[in-house]
Amino acid sequence: MGELRKPFLLLALLAVLLVVGLELGAALLTGGGDAGGALRDSAGQLDVELGDVGSVTQPSGRGTGYLALIDVVALWTTGLFCLSLVVPDRIQGRVQGVATLVFAVLLLIASVVLLLVAFVELTVLVSLFLAAPFGTLAYLAVWGFFPVGEAAVLLGLVLLLKLVWAGLLVLAQPRFLQNRGLVLLMLTTLLCTVLLEFLHRLVPGILVSITDDVGALVFAVVAIVWSLVLLIGSIPAIVKALRTTATTSG
C-alpha cells in the first residue's frame, strides 16, 4: 500500500466504530417522548372521550439504527485496511475473499429481514393514521411524538464522525481516493445521513415516525445493494486464492 500512515488509519477505524456504536445505540440515546398531552388534545378535537390518559412513551424510530446496515460496510472495509498492517499479504489474500463472502451473506440476510420488518411497521403506521378517529388516536398514543431534537443531535454527531473517518482515511493514504468503491461508499453513507435528517424535518412532528420508517426502508435497500456488491466482489478473490493454493500445492 506504500507510505501508509498507520496512526491515521487506526483513528479512522476508531471513528467508524464509534459511528456504528452510536447508530446501534440510537434507541437508548433518543428515547420516545410522552404522547399523553397530544393524545388528549387530539381526542378533544375529534370529540372523543378518553378519560384519564397516563404517561405513554413512543419508540425512537428505526432510521438511525438502520444506518448501521450501511456503516458496517464502512467498518468492515476499514478493518480490512487495518488488517493489512499485521497480516502478511499472502495470508490476507487467501482469507479476505472468504471472510468478505461470509460477511456479505450475513449482511444480505439481515438487511432483507429488517426490510420486511420496516415495511410491515410502515404499513401499520399509515393504516392507523388514516383510520380516524380511533386508529389515529392509537397511532398518536404510540408513535405520535418523535424525538426530533435528540435525533438531530445524534445524527449531527454521526455525520461529523463520518467526515472525520473519511478525512483520516485520505490522510492515511491519499491513493484511497482512487478507489472508486471506497469513494462511493463514503458518499453513500454521508448522503443517507443527510437524507434521514431531511426526512425528520420534512413533515409535522406527529408524522415523523412515518418518514423515519421510509428512511429505514431506503437504508435497508441500500444495504442489500452493498451486500451484493461485496458478495460479487469477493468471488474473484476466492478464485485467485484457490488458484494460488493449487499452484503452491503442485
Enter the C-alpha cell of residue 63.
432510521
pLDDT in tens, 92-114: 667 888 889 999 999 999 999 99
pLDDT in tens, 216-226: 999 999 999 99
At 34 the three-state DSSP class reads strand
Task: For residue 87, name the pLDDT band (cuts at 50, 70, 90).
Answer: confident
At residue 57, φ and ψ (nearest 5 deg) are: -110, 160
Mean pLDDT of 12-37: 78
Among candidate residues 58, 29, 55, 54, the one with its CA nearest the CA of residue 145: 58
What's the pLDDT score for residue 55? 47
- Which are the contacts of 157, defined by CB distance < 8 A and separation ≥ 6? 22
- Between the alpha carbon of residue 28 and those of residues 147, 153, 156, the distances in Å are 12, 14, 17
Radius of gyration of the chain (CA): 22
pTM across the whole model? 0.84
What's the pLDDT score for residue 218? 96
